[in-house]
Amino acid sequence: MDYNKITGSVAAPLGFKASGIHCGIRRNRTKKDLALVVADVPCTAAALYTQNKVKGAPLIVTKNHLENGRAQAIICNSGNANTCNADGLDIANAMCEAVGKALNLLPEDVVVASTGVIGQPLPLEPITSAIPALAATLSDNGDDDAVEAIMTTDTRKKEIAIKFTLSGRECTIGGIAKGSGMINPNMATMLCFVTADADISADMLHEALKDCVASTFNMVSIDGDTSTNDMLTILASGKAGNATITQKSADYNTFKEALEVVMTHLSREVARDGEGATKLVECFVSGAADIKTARTVAKTVIQSSLFKAAMFGSDANWGRVLCAIGYAEAEVDVNKVDVEFESAGGVIDVCKNGAGIDFSEEAARNVLVRDEVRVNINLNSGDATATAWGCDLTYDYVKINGDYRT
């Protein structure tokens, strides 16, 4: 599929605007903490949610709202997760009602999300008081403010937009995400909002979302913790004017490929920005008997704290890779496994047929000291492949999470 990256993100597709302001949830007044994304027409919509049994109130409200496969706006605050609060559902519903009032929309057509500290009361007044101003600042160029407003411990904005063609009609998909710690989704990501101007039914939108998540956000892990507020939502306005996608077809496959490009980019950016991270670590598994084995092995290696610590120290401790493969919940012949490390500094083989081989520690360090490192694992047992993304484990991860609440 041919596509072009363009500037912007969620406001790039036809029919969408976005904004972000500081409303007062965060004590730091220089940080925006309330984001809004709005379409000028009702959209088909789909979402996926955390597998954590403890779920933030916004997820429960959003799931109810999306039962009809339709939405027109997304409201999100940062600084407070609105989770484990006695009045959480009331707060989430009130946020939707305030957006509905400001934009003359049904509250049921609003997706609501929150991110931040768990278990602290979320004051409603700062949010509802700010929503009229938030609505008034909606613009085609509001993406940057919106992505800033959903960030917590993130150190960089995660956003993308691409153009592609569906049956001769130009279409656009854009997305923003936040996530830096408490990341082991097995679902989607911490928070991710995607918009599209393609015309596609809600059922096909949900199907494409599920398919893409399996190879993108589900393959990301920063620390092995699954958040209570993980949610991925997509809205499609239909304004591109393509023939409506109502079944799996060539157009469906093209749309899904485009969506996967967006979600892969955001997945990598989430991994790159792991709390305290100094490098993006990618694990590519080839030669697996099936896709499930490939994904299980890749995700298990990328989650290993010992492997992640070795990457921080630029230490070619390939034994930690084999160790992780050995406890992965997959059938693997460890006597067939080959391992190599790769980066802009070169490629170096460190293990053949499950055993160590001679290699230069100096050359290996030159490979691993880079800010993007890939470990290639060949299981030599089939044709399936998978990729997972994570980061190194540093002293700063403990510092950040040692006083996250206080």
In angstroms, rounded to a whole number, what is the distance separating the alpha carbons of residues 141 and 170?
A: 20
In angstroms, rounded to a whole number, what is the distance separating the alpha carbons of residues 294 and 377?
A: 10
DSSP reduced 3-state for 11: coil
In angstroms, rounded to a whole number, what is the distance separating the alpha carbons of residues 175 and 217?
A: 13
Identity of residue 157: K
DSSP reduced 3-state for 351: strand
**H, E, C per residue of 186-213:** CCCCCEEEEEECCCECHHHHHHHHHHHH
What residues are annotated to the active site?
189
Report CA dihedral (31, 402, 56, 89) to the nearest 10 degrees: -70
DSSP reduced 3-state for 311: helix
Residue 52 exposure: Cα atoms within 13 Å on the Cβ side: 24
* Chain length of the chain: 406
In angstroms, rounded to a whole number, what is the distance separating the alpha carbons of residues 134 and 144?
A: 14
